Chains A and B, each alone.
Chain A
Amino acid sequence: MLEEKHNIKAWFYLAPALVLLIIFTFYPIFNAFFLVILKDFNYLQGTYQGFTLTENFVHVIRNQNFAQAMINTMLITFVSVPVSVVIALLVSVWLNAIVKLRGTFQTIFFLPYVTNAIAIGMAFAFLFNRDYGLINTAMGWIGLNPVNWVGLGATWRHAMFSLLVYVVWGGMAFKIMVFLSGLQSIDKQYYDAARVDSTKRSRIFRKITVPLLSPMIFYITITSFIGAFKAYTEVIGMFGQRLGPAGNDRALITVVALVYDALDRSGVPGALSEAAAASIILFSITLVFTLINMQVSKKRVHY
């Protein structure tokens, strides 16, 4: 019955989604690899000056902001993801340990997930304001001197720190949610056995919770790396199109910003190919993470 083939009917049901996917997803993937081999492509006139394998990549890499974009993106990824994974893990364990008010806390912790990244980024920028912000005021309470985090002439280091706080804040809701549902699926027997042996709490956490949750921790970490590598709207939210504090423009540029910078110059011959090259670089990096993920998940199935 179900084995019966429904070829024509099936394609009829698939058609609406497939047509859209072909135009707006599959074709663009191939076209990115085509654009990247064109020399001085001008989309307004449809002209180009022959083919090249490397030139567009060289343009991206020689871009004065490329090194900064790579450093910033790497930093955002490898600082914000581990920090938010560890905090989210702790918070979800705490949440799992209580009954009363759990729902309320869960709702509050989920709020960053349902906010507008631009709106809340602006709120963070004002939180970090040197003279009128809450952060410096709170620092004053414990005797620390005010810092120019995001204002005119703020240093890269201070602006980056502020951005990281925002990125970590925004990235935890999802992780807490997933870890909590993972914790709730762990068999209670393990904990009961540990209690009979009166095992210490910290030991239970290290020897039972973390190992049993490890496939999930790993999966979340990798997908968050991929997500963090695409950081861009957070920077826009806090710093606007300037991508940095006033007087220190583009200090917080990211790899994705390289794609859109090139796209903003789309009328200039070669700019679209440069955008394509930058997007392929981004793709290659995320591909590495994906491959690691696949390798490890394959092994995971066997234990």
Chain B
Amino acid sequence: MSKDIVMYGDEKANRRKVIIRLGIVYALLVAFAVFIIVPFYWMVLTAFKTEIQVFTAPPILWINPINWQFSNFALALERAPFARFMGNTVLVSIISTVGTVITTVFASFAFARLNFVGRDLLFMLLIATMMIPGEMFVITNFLTVVRAGWIQDQTYMDAVLAMTLPFMTSIFYIFFLRQTFKQIPNELYYAAKVDGTKDLQYLWKVMVPIAIPTIITITILNAMGTWNAYIWPRLIAQREEFRLVSNGLRDAFVDDLAGVVQYNEQMAAALLVTLPLLIVFLLLKKYIMRGVSRSGIKG
């Protein structure tokens, strides 16, 4: 306990005060944790309820695991092709992430290592663009994909292209990776030059391996972004089977005129969509949290 707080004063009364204070802090943190967890708990609980249990008032707050209604998941999967939506999302997310990483690595290298006319000006321009809300791009990008012929008589290929191409680069990630690249000492670069190493080799063999943690962070954040994307895929997907998880989920469970939904199936589907994200998060926590707390300090 004493490790938690630096003691001042050595009387017993003080020590007791410190312990009580620590107890209060833990109690507050637990209360807040409950607030955060409740929606997840509600989602899981409802996903395992029978229809009768869902429409029981007051609601049942705990169900013994042996009575869990796994058939809700089968029913949810029947209602809409969620496996297909997830497949689409994984595909779109892989393509756009690979594209983003490649364009970002090259551009960040240029900004971090190469000296060229207009570098600072271009960089300022990119930073300024980050402040512009995406809604402004969406309108014209929609027109662009219509003109490219990716909306009319849409094939799967058209839909995938339209959902990935606009997201194959990111100013924020260029900015983020450039910071990491800049921390790599210049001496390494000069030494490589003396050895006659080409820039491309140097980038691939030296800089990329050093920056791997940042690249992993970019990969995860970008893939998570696709998993959550709602607006653009909704505009693009012209057929149900081309939808991604977010808009697939939303459109599969629209409440009726009385505002009622088959909640257990809806929550089962919501859980199916949430689970992959949570698993990825728990496995790669370090990279995600690091990336997020760093992005907050960029100002």
Closest 9 CB pairs between A and B?
A178-B296, A246-B259, A28-B140, A10-B116, A119-B270, A17-B107, A13-B110, A114-B281, A123-B43
Report the minimal beta-carbon distance from B71 to chain A, rounded to whole angstroms: 19
B103 contacts A17, C-beta separation under 8 Å: yes
Interface string of B106-134 (1 = CB under 8 A from A): 11011001111101001000100101111
Of residues B26, B186, B288, B293, which shows the largest number of chain A Cβ atoms within 10 Å of its Cβ? B293
A280 contacts B136, C-beta separation under 8 Å: yes
What residues of chain A lie closer than 8 Å to B250, measured between beta carbons?
118, 236-237, 240-241
Is A52 an interface residue when CB atoms closer than 8 A count as contact? no
A113 contacts B39, C-beta separation under 8 Å: no
Cβ contact of B137, chosen from A18, A28, A220, A260, cutoff 8 A = A28
A14 contacts B129, C-beta separation under 8 Å: no
User: Contacts A236-B230, A260-B231 given: A105-B33 contact, CB under 8 Å?
Assistant: yes
B144 contacts A23, C-beta separation under 8 Å: yes
Q: What 15 new A-B contacts, CB under 8 Å, besides A16-B107, A111-B278, A263-B138? A: A14-B110, A17-B103, A27-B140, A29-B129, A91-B32, A106-B289, A116-B246, A118-B247, A122-B267, A127-B42, A129-B263, A220-B296, A223-B299, A246-B256, A282-B136
Q: In the complex, what distance in Å separates the CA atom of A101 from the CA atom of B274? A: 25
Report the minimal beta-carbon distance from B242 to chain A, rounded to whole angstroms: 17
Q: In the complex, what distance in Å separates the CA atom of A206 from the CA atom of B239? A: 56
Report the minimal beta-carbon distance from B140 to chain A, rounded to whole angstroms: 4
A259 contacts B135, C-beta separation under 8 Å: yes
Q: In the complex, what distance in Å separates the CA atom of A233 from the CA atom of B267? A: 18
Is B277 an interface residue when CB atoms closer than 8 A count as contact? yes
Is A270 an interface residue when CB atoms closer than 8 A count as contact? no
User: Contacts A10-B114, A137-B58, A174-B296 given: A17-B270 contact, CB under 8 Å?
Assistant: no
What residues of chain A lie closer than 8 Å to B255, measured between beta carbons?
240, 246
B274 contacts A119, C-beta separation under 8 Å: yes
What residues of chain A lie closer than 8 Å to B83, measured between beta carbons?
none
Q: In the complex, what distance in Å separates the CA atom of A78 from the CA atom of B298? A: 24
What residues of chain A lie closer than 8 Å to B129, measured between beta carbons?
21, 25-26, 29
Interface size on A, residues (CB 8 A): 116
Is A9 an interface residue when CB atoms closer than 8 A count as contact? yes
B230 contacts A117, C-beta separation under 8 Å: yes
B152-211 with Cβ < 8 A to chain A? 165-166, 168-169, 171, 174, 186, 189-190, 193, 199
B136 contacts A4, C-beta separation under 8 Å: no
B→A interface (CB under 8 Å): 3-6, 8-9, 21-22, 25-26, 28-29, 32-33, 35-40, 42-43, 46, 54-59, 61, 102-104, 106-107, 109-110, 113-117, 119, 122, 126, 129, 131-144, 146, 165-166, 168-169, 171, 174, 186, 189-190, 193, 199, 224, 227-228, 230-231, 235, 245-247, 249-250, 253-259, 263, 266-267, 269-271, 273-274, 277-278, 280-282, 285, 288-289, 292-293, 296-297, 299
B36 contacts A35, C-beta separation under 8 Å: no
16 contacts between A and B (CB under 8 A): A17-B103, A17-B107, A17-B174, A29-B132, A94-B25, A111-B36, A116-B274, A119-B43, A120-B40, A120-B270, A122-B267, A127-B39, A134-B38, A134-B61, A272-B143, A279-B138
B42 contacts A98, C-beta separation under 8 Å: no
Is A276 an interface residue when CB atoms closer than 8 A count as contact? yes
B249 contacts A118, C-beta separation under 8 Å: yes
Residue of A nearest to B59 (CB): A132
A→B interface (CB under 8 Å): 1-7, 9-11, 13-18, 20-21, 23-29, 31-32, 35, 43, 87, 90-91, 94-95, 97-101, 105-120, 122-124, 126-127, 129, 131-134, 137, 140, 150-152, 169, 174, 177-178, 180-182, 191-192, 195-196, 198, 201, 216, 219-220, 223, 226, 230, 232-233, 236-237, 240-241, 245-247, 256, 259-260, 263, 266, 272, 275-276, 278-280, 282-283, 286-287, 290, 293, 297
Residue of A nearest to B190 (CB): A1
Report the minimal beta-carbon distance from A197 to chain B, rounded to whole angstroms: 10
Cβ contact of B32, chosen from A109, A195, A293, cutoff 8 A = A109
What residues of chain B lie closer than 8 Å to A2, measured between beta carbons?
113, 115, 186, 189
A16 contacts B103, C-beta separation under 8 Å: yes
Cβ contact of A177, chosen from B115, B231, B296, cutoff 8 A = B296
What residues of chain B lie closer than 8 Å to A17, measured between beta carbons?
103-104, 106-107, 169, 174
What residues of chain B lie closer than 8 Å to A245, measured between beta carbons?
259
Report the minimal beta-carbon distance from B121 to chain A, rounded to whole angstroms: 13
User: Contacts A108-B37, A195-B6, A240-B250 given: A123-B116 contact, CB under 8 Å?
Assistant: no
Cβ contact of A283, chosen from B39, B136, B140, cutoff 8 A = B136
Report the minimal beta-carbon distance from B90 to chain A, rounded to whole angstroms: 14
User: Contacts A24-B166, A126-B267, A246-B257 given: A109-B36 contact, CB under 8 Å?
Assistant: yes
Report the minimal beta-carbon distance from A115 to chain B, rounded to whole angstroms: 6
A98 contacts B56, C-beta separation under 8 Å: no
B33 contacts A109, C-beta separation under 8 Å: yes
